[in-house]
Each structure stands twice: as C-alpha cells, then as structure tokens.
Amino acid sequence: MHNIFVSPDQRFLPIMRIVNDALHNDVVFWTLTQDFCEVIKNVDLKSECIASLIDAPARNDATRMASAIVSNISKASQRNDIYNVAKNSGATIAVARWLNDNLDTFMYNSVPNIAAIIVSLNKIKPELIIVHNDVDTVMKPICQWGRTHSIPTLHVPHAIYLPNAGRGPVMSDIHDFAMATHVAAGGPFQANWYKERYDLLKLGAQIRITGLPQYDRLANVHPDRERSCKLLSLDTRKPIVVYFPSWSQDTNILGCHNGLEEAFAAFLETTKRLPECQFIFSAHPNDRNEGLIKQRIEQAKATGMPILFCPGHLDVMLSCADVAISYGNSNVLLEAACVRTARLIEIGDPPIAPEVIALGANPDEIEAAIRTSLRQSPPNYNGLINKYLVQNGGTATRKISDWILSLLPKVE
C-alpha cells in the first residue's frame, strides 16, 4: 500500500483520483484535518487523518520534545542572548525586546503541534508529500521533514506570486524561503521566480512547468453573459464593473500600510461618477476578517449607489464583467484573462503585462480608465497567459498526476 501525504486543498482531489486509479486503489492519502479526510473519503478514496496516530505515548513524545525546545529558548531569553543577537542584527529595541521576552511563550503555541506532526510523519513514512504552500508554520516543517528524510515533497502553489510592491525585493518576504524539493510551476514566470530563490537559498529543487490545476477549469470556458447576469440579477444591457479588493498579509509591507482601504475608497467614489454602470465588489477567498468585510459593505451602502457585494461565484462574475479591477497584482487578473471578457485594471502595483492598465488609487484615474475600457474590446491576452500559465491548456491536473506517479517508488 502506498502512503501519500496531501495538505488540505480541494484542487488535489482530481489529482488524487488519477493517482489512485493508476495505482489500482492501492494508496492511502494522509492529511492534516479530519474535515479534509472526510472530503477525500466522500469521493471514494482511502484517507486517514494524521491525528489518528497521536495516541497517548505519541502525545507524550511530542510534549516532551516541545517542552525541551521551549525550555532552551527560555534559558537564552534569561541570559538576554536573543536580545543581543537581535540588536546586533539591526533590529530596533522594541523588536529585540519583544523577541527576547516573548519567543518562548510564542513558540509554546506552535511547537507541540509541529512536534506531533513530526511524530506522525515518522510513523506513516509517506513516500511522497504534496502541499499547497511550503512556507507557513504547518507546511514548512512538513516540507523540511521531507527534505531531511529524502522524501520527495511536491509543492503545487495555491497562487502565483506576481510582481508586487508590497512584497518587496527578492528575499525580503517570508514567501521567498521555499523548502519543497519539487515545484509545479504555472508558467515560465513562476518557474523563474522559484529558480531565483532556490539559487539564493542554495537549495536544490526540481522545478517543472505544468500549469496550475486551479486554472484548468478556465481553459475552454464559454462565458455566458446572459446567464451570469440573470444569476446576479444584473441588466445585460448595462456595463458591469467588478472590483476585487485583495487582502492584507502581515508578513510583508502590504500589511503595514492602508493601500487596500485607500483603493477601496477610491473605487467607491468612482461608482458615484458612473451611474450608467453596474458595480460589484468581491472578497478575497483568504480574507477571513469579517469586521473588515462588514465595514466595506457599510461603506458601499453609504455611497447610495446600488453596489452588489458578491463574496463567491467568481466564474459567474468574470463571465459578465466588462471591466475587472484588482487592488495590486492579484491572481484574479489571470483568471479574468483566461475568461477573456473584461478589460483589466490594477491599482497600486506595476502592471504584470502590457494588456493590464495600472493606476494609482485615484478616482479620476479609475473613472477615466473605466470609460476608456468600455469603449474598447478586451485585448488578446495570449501573451499574458503564456507567460504565467503555459497557454492554459487545461492539462495541469493530468501533468501533475503523471509527475506524482513518476516520483513514487516502483513496486515490484
């Protein structure tokens, strides 16, 4: 029986199906959460949650390891070692003090979980690890464990990190610190992005351009404006402008200024100037800040304009959008390019391609760009798609599945 670890990500279900069928049902997919385990079982694949392996002795092992680590950090803190290293590295007093005084208790929150995952991985001994990111506090240790134990660790990125002023130059953001041993890249841009970072990190990795599975659905899409308008209760005869506000990540500069709010305010101001248009705004799938979303809804109501808030139904929105505007260089621009109905505008970043109009958070500029866009047909997006998504032939799921099968040990 093959054992494969998969991180909780719906994109992996079709991949698991192909791999399972090729292996004649002789595979168990281990995952992190009971919820995702049930999702996998619901499509008739074998799955186990790694938590099922954490019995009392395993929990004791994990707790013992975690306590030792936290105790070691506490001792360094008492000697002010952490403060001194931080200060000598150029950190400010507040940062050095925070690290010295809080790192042990801070680590106490995450270390037991990571230790438990390590104990589980040692029991499972997976032949392959598949993850949707390799930098967060749960995925990184899994990938580092895989690298240490010479287990292929395949990263199928959940997104393409586009040129972004908020993220800063290379190696100034935590996402630059890649760890997986194999990377499935969306296109040449993403392959080069990872190559540059792996080279700087002096880590070996196989990077293969496969396309990304989340774009497969858009490969041969036939947008139906009439149907989409009906679903969203919009008038087919009036122009439709969709705004994607992005979300704030505190891991980089983007979380340290109010560009998102400024751009949203500029968008709302613009809606008042274009009463002939129908406006929709969305919410980023990762934005779980309900307070901020409610605030945006209230701000939209305060304009007195009939602005629709639509937190899901992305493909429906893109099928009827005449103009799609994003804050910063969001992956939604790539999805909109694949659907090909809308002119693309982004606020606050350098343009990802000549086909995208780049602006500041200024109602005059946004209004002018929308008016210009509505007078023109969408450009040919082939250049943009080929750069980021290898022509988006809809074959990423198949290519990644084949790669996975080639990475598994051959059973005699």
Q: Give me the residues that bind other proteins (CB under 8 A), please.
A: 65, 69, 72-73, 76, 81-82, 85-86, 89-95, 97-99, 102-103, 106-107, 110-111, 114-115, 118, 122, 135-137, 140-141, 144-145, 147-149, 165, 168-169, 171-174, 176-177, 250-253, 255-257
Amino acid at 147: R
The set of residues, in sequence order, having a beta carbon less than 8 Å from that of 328 and lying 6+ positions away, is 164, 165, 166, 246, 254, 259, 346, 347, 348, 349
CB of 253 to other proteins, least distance (A): 4
In angstroms, the first-to-last Cα distance of the chain is: 12
The angle subtended at Cα 245 by Cα 240 and Cα 247, nearest 5°, is 155
Question: Where is 359: in which H helix or E strand?
Answer: strand 356-359
Please say which residue, 72 or 372, places its beta carbon nearer to other proteins. 72
Asked whether the beta carbons of 405 and 398 are under 8 A apart, the reply is no
Q: How far is the CB of 4 from other proteins (least distance, A)?
A: 20
Nearer to other proteins, 90 or 204 (CB): 90
Q: How far is the CB of 34 from other proteins (least distance, A)?
A: 23
Looking at the Cβ atoms of 40 and 266, the one nearer to other proteins is 266
**Which residue, 117 or 384, has its beta carbon nearer to other proteins?**
117
How far apart are CB 26 and other proteins at their closest, in Å?
28
Closest to other proteins by CB, 106 or 161: 106
User: What DSSP designation does 331 have?
Assistant: T
What strands, in cross-sheet order, belong to the sheet with 240-244?
Answer: 308-309, 278-281, 240-244, 323-327, 343-347, 356-359
Smallest distance from other proteins to CB 110, Å:
5
Residue type, 226: E
Q: How many helices (H) and strands (E) does the chain have?
A: 15, 13
**Residue 66 or 229 with smaller CB distance to other proteins:** 66
Strand positions, DSSP E, 38-115 = 47-49
Scanning the structure block, which residue is given the tokens 């070691």? Answer: 72
Given a contact cutoff of 8 angstroms between Cβ atoms, the answer to whether 296 and 307 are in contact is no
- Residue 98 CB, shortest distance to other proteins, in Å, is 4
Task: Please return the burial class of 312, using the count of CB atoms within 10 Å of its CB with bins 0-12, 13-18 and 19+.
Answer: exposed
- Would you say 132 or 147 has its CB closer to other proteins? 147
The least CB distance from residue 255 to other proteins, in Å, is 7
Shortest distance in whole angstroms from residue 96 CB to other proteins = 9
Contacts of 339 (CB under 8 A, 6+ apart): 218, 221, 223, 315, 318, 319, 321
178 vs 338 by CB, closer to other proteins: 178
Shortest Cβ 250–other proteins spacing (Å): 4
CA-to-CA distance for 143 and 49, rounded, in angstroms? 18
Nearer to other proteins, 25 or 137 (CB): 137
Q: What does the alpha-carbon distance between residue 98 and residue 107 come to, in Å, rounded to a whole number?
A: 13
